[in-house]
């Protein structure tokens, strides 16, 4: 059994799968929106004289959609638009640019009638048009010529080229890799890696692997008889370690990720100049996975995964972690003690209340200052990390699942209570890449204007937002 399997997809209070996967309500909402757009496009585009069909594709179709994990990110839904004609029966066929122009025009018409659509990207992207919605998602509309008699599809580009592209064939291949419970685990592993990519490549977007690249890589490993029987018997964390190691091996040997239905095409479009940054981050992911594999218990494994997955990785239900030296069973250092001061504004001139290691009850809209009160125990060259893990519907809606800040001698961190949910401030001390100690500071905040007396069982929770994001 994997040491951190409970935190990946088990019975923990919070799991990695739950943190990165859209809720049923979120998926149903997205489905309602793309259905409405699809019906409009089918009805209006038929007027150009060709049968029109639509086909949902991308992460939603594969069952690997993840939540936006940064405040400025959106859900991405792909809705393919197909113009059907037999090239042998049509004297003058429309050009790729004509199809794209027609679709763009109808998207603009749709926007004018639907206030939920706040914008249509103009000019459109090379391979799709985009409708941008107010509720933090967009729908991309790649447009195709479909020759239904021959089951052939070509993608129309804005530059006027036709690209040999068949998303339906890749999806059929994906469904055939494994079935049942194994397919569900395959989908979960893809979600975990997409979450890693969202975190690891925030400062290097050109090096970030695409969703289809990660999907095909993991599915290829699953379809390999050498690995299939092993993976099917593993918990998610052990399976992920195995997949990461194999990915690292394959991509260091050959950067091409071959399209499973078109051996002439590599799906990997990371530029050559950005490939080094990708491999560096993949190496760090492998090292974190190996540390998790070598960990002796759940806490150590979770803290190892935290290096790669940051605030997305849930930690066990604990107050503090003391790391011992294996040779002497002596603690490497004491667990830091944290004072939390509550104030009405960022000046902290008027302290309303002070807590130690947890905040049992606090009002919404206040400022918190977290201070290590025994800094003398921190090794001189240690890295101090402060990680906020946000929970709740508002955090999901805004894509604000958390953040991490840190540095040497960073004994103080400041946050502000912002929206409905539940949050932890997690303090981790690392030396030379190894965890020396950790402290979980639980903050329970009631959604009401006045500071109450501390109470043991709060009713409604809200999360914290970084001081960095406050308005001046």
Q: How many CA atoms lie within 13 A of 359 on its CB side?
A: 32
Model confidence at 449, in pLDDT bands (50, 70, 90)?
A: low
Name the range with the highest mean pLDDT among 259-263, 275-279, 466-470. 275-279
Tokens standing for 61?
Answer: 């179709």
pLDDT tens-place string over residues 368-394 = 999 999 999 999 999 999 999 988 777
Q: Tell me how far apart the alpha carbons of residues 95 and 101 are, in angstroms, rounded to a whole number.
A: 10
Q: Which of 99-108, 138-147, 164-173, 191-200 shows the lowest per-residue confidence on average (mean pLDDT)?
A: 164-173
- The predicted structure's pLDDT at residue 205: 95
Q: Is residue 56 scored above 80 in pLDDT? A: yes
Average pLDDT, the chain: 89
Cα–Cα dist 213/59, whole Å? 12
* Rounded to 5°, angle at Cα 74 from 206 and 243: 55
Tell me which DSSP letter residue 466 carries: E
| Other residues' Cβ atoms within 10 Å of the Cβ of residue 50 | 18
b/e 10-24 (16+ beta carbons within 10 angstroms → b): bebebbbbebbbbee
Report the candidate in 423, 427, 443 with the shortest Cα–Cα distance to residue 363. Answer: 443
Residue 454 has pLDDT above 70, yes or no: no
pLDDT at 450 over 80: no
What average pLDDT does the segment 446-456 reach? 54
Count of CB atoms situated within 10 Å of the CB of 211: 20
- Does residue 123 have a cis bond before it (omega within 30 degrees)? yes
Nearest Cα to Cα of residue 359 among 416, 313, 438, 302: 416
DSSP, residue by residue, 282-325: HHHHHHHHHHHHH-SSHHHHHHHHHHHHGGGS---S-SEEEPBP
Question: In 178-271, which residue ranges form alpha helices assigned H by DSSP?
Answer: 180-200, 211-223, 225-232, 236-253
Query: Contact, 188 vs 238, CB < 8 A?
Result: no
**CA angle, residues 443, 447, 451, in degrees to nearest 5:** 75
d(CA 141, CA 159): 16
Report the percentage of the chain scoring pLDDT > 90. 71
Vertex 171: Cα angle to 88 and 209 (nearest 5): 110
- 361 versus 213: the higher-pLDDT residue is 213
pLDDT at residue 325, as a whole number: 62
Q: What is the DSSP string of 144-175?
A: EEEETTTTEEEEE-TTS-EEE--HHHHHHHHH
Tens-place pLDDT, residues 328-357: 567 778 899 999 999 999 999 999 999 999
Range 180-195 average pLDDT: 92
Shortest CA distance to 75 belongs to which of 24, 22, 143?
Answer: 22
User: For residue 327, what pLDDT is reported?
Assistant: 63
Section 396-403 average pLDDT: 83
Torsion angle, alpha carbons of 242, 75, 122, 268, to 10 = 10
CA dist 279 and 295 (Å) reads: 24
Instruction: Dig out the tokens for 171 from the structure.
Output: 């999806």
pLDDT of residue 469: 40
Provide the terminal-to-terminal Cα distance of the chain, rounded to the nearest Å: 50
- The answer, yes or no, to whether residue 419 has pLDDT greater than 60, is yes
Over the stretch 80-125, which tens digit does the pLDDT of each residue have? 999 999 999 988 999 999 999 999 999 999 999 999 999 999 999 9
| pLDDT digits 0-9 by tens, 220-231 | 998 876 676 677
- Mean pLDDT for the stretch of residues 440-456: 66
Whether the predicted pLDDT of 254 surpasses 70:
yes
DSSP type of residue 260: T
Residue 162 or 232, more confident: 162
455 pLDDT more than 90: no
pLDDT of residue 421: 62
Query: Is residue 15 predicted with pLDDT exceeding 90?
Result: yes
Query: In angstroms, rounded to a whole number, what is the distance separating the alpha carbons of residues 195 and 189?
Result: 10
pLDDT in tens, 33-45: 999 999 999 999 9
């Amino acid at each position: 059994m994997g040491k951190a399997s409970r935190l990946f997809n088990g019975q923990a209070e919070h799991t990695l799968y739950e943190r990165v996967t859209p809720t049923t309500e979120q998926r149903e909402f997205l489905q309602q929106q793309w259905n409405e757009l699809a019906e409009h496009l089918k009805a209006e585009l038929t007027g150009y004289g060709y049968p029109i069909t639509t086909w949902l594709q991308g992460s939603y179709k594969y069952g690997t959609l993840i939540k936006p994990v940064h405040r400025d990110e959106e859900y991405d839904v792909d809705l393919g638009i197909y113009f059907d004609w037999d090239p042998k029966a049509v004297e003058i066929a429309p050009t790729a640019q004509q199809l794209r122009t027609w679709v763009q025009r109808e998207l603009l018409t749709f926007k004018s009638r639907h206030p939920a659509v706040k914008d249509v990207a103009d000019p459109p992207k090379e391979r799709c048009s985009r409708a941008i919605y107010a509720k933090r998602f967009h729908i991309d509309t790649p447009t195709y010529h479909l020759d239904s008699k021959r089951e052939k599809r070509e993608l129309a580009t804005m530059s006027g080229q036709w690209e040999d592209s068949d998303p339906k064939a890749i999806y059929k291949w994906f469904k055939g890799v494994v079935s049942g419970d194994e397919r569900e685990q395959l989908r979960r592993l893809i979600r975990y890696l997409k979450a890693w990519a969202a975190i690891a490549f925030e400062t290097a977007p050109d090096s970030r692997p695409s969703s289809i690249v990660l999907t095909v890589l993991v599915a290829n490993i699953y379809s390999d008889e050498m690995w299939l029987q092993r993976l099917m018997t593993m918990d998610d964390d052990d399976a992920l370690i195995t997949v990461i190691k194999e990915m690292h091996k394959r991509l260091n040997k050959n950067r091409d990720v071959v399209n499973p239905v078109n051996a002439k095409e590599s799906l990997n479009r990371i530029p050559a100049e950005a490939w080094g940054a990708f491999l560096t981050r993949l190496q760090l992911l492998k090292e974190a996975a190996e540390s998790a594999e070598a960990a002796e218990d759940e806490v150590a494994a979770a803290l190892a995964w935290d290096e790669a997955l940051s605030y997305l990785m849930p930690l066990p239900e604990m107050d503090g972690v003391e790391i011992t030296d294996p040779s002497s069973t002596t603690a490497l250092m004491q667990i830091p003690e944290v004072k939390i001061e509550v104030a009405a504004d960022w000046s902290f001139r008027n302290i309303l209340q002070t807590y130690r290691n947890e905040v049992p009850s606090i009002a919404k809209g206040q400022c918190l200052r977290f201070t290590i009160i025994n800094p003398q125990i921190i090794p001189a060259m240690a890295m101090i990390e402060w990680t906020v893990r946000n929970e709740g519907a508002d955090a999901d809606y805004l894509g604000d699942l958390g953040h991490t800040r840190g540095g040497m001698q960073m004994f103080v961190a400041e946050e502000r209570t912002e929206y409905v949910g539940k949050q932890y401030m997690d303090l981790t001390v690392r030396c030379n890449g190894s965890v020396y100690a950790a402290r979980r500071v639980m903050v329970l905040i009631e959604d009401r204007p006045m500071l109450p007396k501390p109470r043991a069982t709060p009713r409604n929770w809200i999360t914290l937002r970084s001081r960095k994001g406050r308005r001046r």
